[in-house]
Amino acid sequence: MKLSVKKESLLKALVKIAGIIGNRTTLPVLANVLVEAENNSISLTTTDLEIRLSAKIEGDVEKAGKTTIPVKRLLGLVSKLRGESVSFNTNENFHTEIKCGTASFTLLGLNPDDFPAPVEFSPIRSFKMKQGEISSIIERVSYAVSMDDSRKVLQGILISVRESKLTAVGTDGKRLALMEKLLADSPVGDDGNIILTLKSALELRKLSEKDSDVMVEIGENQVMFKTENAVMISKLIDGSYPNYEQVIPASFNKKIQIPCEPFMYALDVVNVTLADAEAPYVKLTFKDNSLTFEASSNYGEGRESIAIEYDGEEMMASFNPHFLLDPFKHLGVDNVSLKINDVFSPIAVESGDGFLYVIMPMRNK
């Protein structure tokens, strides 16, 4: 195999596909990227046996062929090279000489025939949306996904398609983040649910480019995401997702407009006194057109207030400050609605563009 490629194109592709490879792999070849070149097209593929990522770039292919190269070493090298073009020349032992400008290196590869072949994939439903949209959806719900190994289904994101509406949900049993989006084009195939692994969801965000489309094809136990220059195939989490709708109150009797930036500042600043606290909580008091934040621990105590429109009876509720702050860090809007029935029932944060966050107050302290 002999080829040359623009350094920036190569670097961009490697960044997209290298993230799934851990420091330890079950097979040596899994630490490598499969490089395949023909007809002036170069394909770069990595896999951890759960996710398979491929990116295509254009190049000048003088001699078609394939090899595998240690992907993290290749990425580290290309990121430091100075020059516009990188050339590859692979010998019969799959060792590749890499040149850029006056620099020359050799990376030892492995037989590409040992690289795992893709599993047969047969889609049963599909839909299309903008990459920027799916990236935003993942950002808005992924932080609520459970890290608890005992409930496998909660370690992923529910993706549900019903009558041209996509719903994504993440929950750890203590809070729930939900995002709904109407699809511009009707999906093909029956409605249904899948549970996407958190790792594949985060890798999908790396592939996303704001204005381009992504085609989502769903199989029995796999999902494929196809963009113009990249493909990701991921195994799905097997199991039934809990009925998340049961934890969302059917109605609320109070709706309070909250300015996001002042809310985030006040919550963040009183958190300073809660560093390393075992069971941190922040008390919120709604009274006389103000919202007061109070926190205390063995390190001290803090208090801050912001102006809101509220003239109802005084209400006090306590929350895990990290859980309460999380959605605000990912919304990118100026204001949200805080929807409440009482200080003992779930409250909701709603952004008006399809996002809903539900969290239970802690017992007042």
Q: Are residues 236 and 258 in the same domain?
A: no
Once rounded to an integer, what is the mean pLDDT over residues 354-364?
89
- Looking at the fold, whether 206 and 265 belong to one and the same domain comes out as no
Domain final residue, candidates 50, 83, 114: 114
Within this chain, do residues 166 and 226 fall inside the same structural domain, yes or no? yes
- What is the spatial distance between Cα 111 and Cα 24, in angstroms, rounded to a whole number? 19
Q: How confident is the model at residue 364 (pLDDT cuts 50, 70, 90)?
A: low
Retrieve residue 348's tokens.
């909701």
Same domain, 47 and 77: yes
Q: Do 104 and 131 reside in the same domain of the chain?
A: no
356 φ/ψ angles, rounded to the nearest 5 degrees? -140, 135
How far, in Å, CA of 85 to CA of 72, rounded?
19
Average predicted confidence (pLDDT) for the chain:
93
Residue-wise pLDDT for 196-213, tens only, equals 999 999 999 888 777 789
Helix (H) or strand (E) holding 98: strand 95-100
Residues 346 and 262 in one domain: yes
Does residue 275 have a pLDDT over 90? no
H or E element at residue 66: strand 65-70
Residue 88 sits in which domain range?
2-114
Clarify whether residues 164 and 193 are in a common domain: yes
Q: Record the pTM.
A: 0.91
One domain for residues 200 and 176 = yes
- The strands making up 85-90's β-sheet, listed across from edge to edge, are 60-63, 2-6, 85-90, 95-100, 103-108
**Residue 56 domain flag:** yes
pLDDT in tens, 68-105: 999 999 999 999 999 999 999 999 999 999 999 999 99
In a domain, 364, yes or no: no
Q: Quickly tell me which residue has 């194109």 as its tokens.
A: 9
Identify the band that residue 24 occupies on the pLDDT scale cut at 50, 70 and 90: confident
Residue 298, in any domain of the structure: yes
Distance (Å, rounded) from C-alpha 193 to C-alpha 158? 7
Indicate if 238 and 133 belong to the same structural domain. Answer: yes
Looking at the fold, whether 234 and 178 belong to one and the same domain comes out as yes
pLDDT digits (tens, 9 = 90+) for 227-271: 988 999 999 999 999 999 999 999 999 999 999 999 999 999 998
Number of domains in the chain: 3
Mean pLDDT within 309-320: 92
Residues 307 and 277 in one domain: yes
Choose one of 81, 114, 147: the last residue of a domain.
114
Domain boundary among 59, 86, 114: 114
Query: Which residue's entry shows tokens 């299309």?
Result: 128
Give the C-alpha separation, 40 to 355, whole Å: 44
CATH number of residue 276's parent domain? 3.10.150.10
Strands (E), 190-345: 192-197, 213-218, 222-226, 230-235, 254-259, 282-287, 290-297, 300-307, 315-319, 335-340
Shared domain for 238 and 129, answered yes or no, is: yes
Residue matched to tokens 């049993």: 173
